[in-house]
């Protein structure tokens, strides 16, 4: 953890936090109604419909000594 969050942008981490706080999968919130309106055509970020996402390959890697 000494180099966390190496390779991640501040905006990506902020967006992840927004998703956790809002408890819904949504686009990035600019916390500015005018900017959100400019980007999305509405004053708040739209929710992302994940119901149509299927057959996404998922892998799990486990190390016994981690």
pLDDT of residue 62: 87
- Summarised one tens digit per residue, pLDDT across range 21-63 is 999 999 999 999 999 999 999 999 999 998 888 888 888 888 8
Length of the chain: 66
- Summarised one tens digit per residue, pLDDT across range 10-23 is 899 999 999 999 99
pLDDT of residue 53: 82
pLDDT of residue 42: 97
- What is the residue-wise DSSP string for 2-65? TTTTTT--HHHHHHHHHHHHHTS-BPPP-S-HHHHHHHHSSSSPPBP--TT-----------TT
pLDDT of residue 3: 65
18 CB-contact burial (10 Å; exposed 0-12 / middle 13-18 / buried 19+): middle
CB-based contact 16:9 (threshold 8 Å): no
pLDDT of residue 2: 65
């Amino acid at each position: 953890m000494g180099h966390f969050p190496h390779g991640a942008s501040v905006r990506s981490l902020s967006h992840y936090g927004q998703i956790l706080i809002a408890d819904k999968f949504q686009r990035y919130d600019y916390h500015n109604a005018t900017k959100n309106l400019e980007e999305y055509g509405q004053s708040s970020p739209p929710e992302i419909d994940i119901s149509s996402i299927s057959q996404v390959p998922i892998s799990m890697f486990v190390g016994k000594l981690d």
